[in-house]
Amino acid sequence: AVRSIEHLPVEVEQLVAEDRLKEVPGVGEAITKKITELVTTGHIGYYEKLKAEFPEGISTLLDIPSVGPKTAMLLSSELGIKSVDELEAAIISGKVATLPRMGDKVTENILRHIQTLRRKDQRIPIGEALPVVDDILTRLGQVPRVRNLAPAGSLRRFRETVGDIDLMGTADNASEIIQTFVNLPQVKEVLASGTTKASVVVSGGLQVDLRIVEHDCFGSLLQYFTGSKQHNINLRERAHRMGLKLSEYG
C-alpha cells in the first residue's frame, strides 16, 4: 500500500475528495479511514495514541532489524536509551549485558545490525560496485533454468555512486537461485532470506538484494526498481493521461 500511494499519478487529496482511495492496490477500509483522517484533519488519532504509549526514541531503535518492540522498551525504560548511538555506546560499555536476555550473542547481533544500518547511508563509486555485481551475476547465471538476471536501481542508471545493489531475475527454480545467492563465497552476512528474495552483505560491506519474480512481470519490475522515483511518477502520470494504469506489475 505504501509503495502504491508513493507512486500515485494523482495527488492523494484528489482521491480522498473523489472517494477513490480503495481503487489503490493494497488500500482497504482501515487504511482508507486513516488516510482520509490525515488529509482532512492533519493528524491520525491512532498514530497519536501509539506515540503517547511509547517513550521518545523507540521508533529509532526499531529501525535496527534485531531490536523488536519489547527489547526497545526494555532498553528505554531500564537504561534511558533513545538513539542508535546511545545503544551502541551502552553495548560497548557493558551496560546492556546487565539486562535480562541480553547476553553476548544478542548484543553482538545488535552491533552487527547497527553497522549494517549505517552502511545503508553510505555510497561507493560505481567503478567499485560493477566488478562485485558482475561476479555475482556470473555465478548466479550458472544455476540451471535461470532465464533473466539484471541489476536495477542507481547501478543500472549508471550513477557515479551507488548504495545498496538491487538485482532482479526470473527463474523456474526461485528457491534454488536464492540458496545459491546466500551461499556465495563473497557473502559475509545474510540479512534476510525467503523463497523469492534475499538480502546479503558481501566483502567490503556492500549490501546486495536479490528478487526473483514471475517471467511476465520482469520488464515492468525492472523498470520500477531502476527508477528513479520521479521517473516512475512521470510514467504513471503519462499513463493516467492516456486512460491507462501502470504499476510495477505491468
- Which distant-in-sequence residues (6+ apart) come within 8 Å of 109 by Cβ? 66
CA gap 175, 81 in Å, rounded? 40
C-alpha cell of residue 129: 560496485
Higher-scoring residue by pLDDT: 77, 249? 77
CA gap 233, 155 in Å, rounded? 20
Q: Determine the pLDDT at residue 4.
A: 67
Q: Determine the pLDDT at residue 134.
A: 95
Q: Is 167:209 a contact under the CB 8 Å cutoff?
A: yes
- The whole-model pTM stands at 0.62
Domains 59-119 and 124-240 share a fold: no
**Per-residue pLDDT averaged across 241-248, rounded?**
80
What average pLDDT is seen over the chain?
87
Per-residue pLDDT reduced to its tens digit, 170-181: 988 898 999 999
Looking up cell 528513479, which residue turns up?
Answer: 228
For residue 121, is pLDDT > 70?
Answer: no
Q: Identify the band that residue 1 occupies on the pLDDT scale cut at 50, 70 and 90.
A: low
Higher-scoring residue by pLDDT: 74, 233? 74
The domain made up of 59-119 is a member of CATH 1.10.150.20: yes
The domain made up of 124-240 is a member of CATH 3.40.190.10: no
Per-residue pLDDT reduced to its tens digit, 24-78: 777 888 888 999 998 888 889 888 887 777 777 788 888 887 888 889 989 998 9
For residue 7, is pLDDT > 80?
Answer: no
Which one, of 104, 109, 169, lies nearest residue 136 by Cα? 169
Q: Determine the pLDDT at residue 240.
A: 81
Residue spans per domain, the chain: 2-50, 59-119, 124-240
Per-residue pLDDT reduced to its tens digit, 142-152: 998 888 999 99
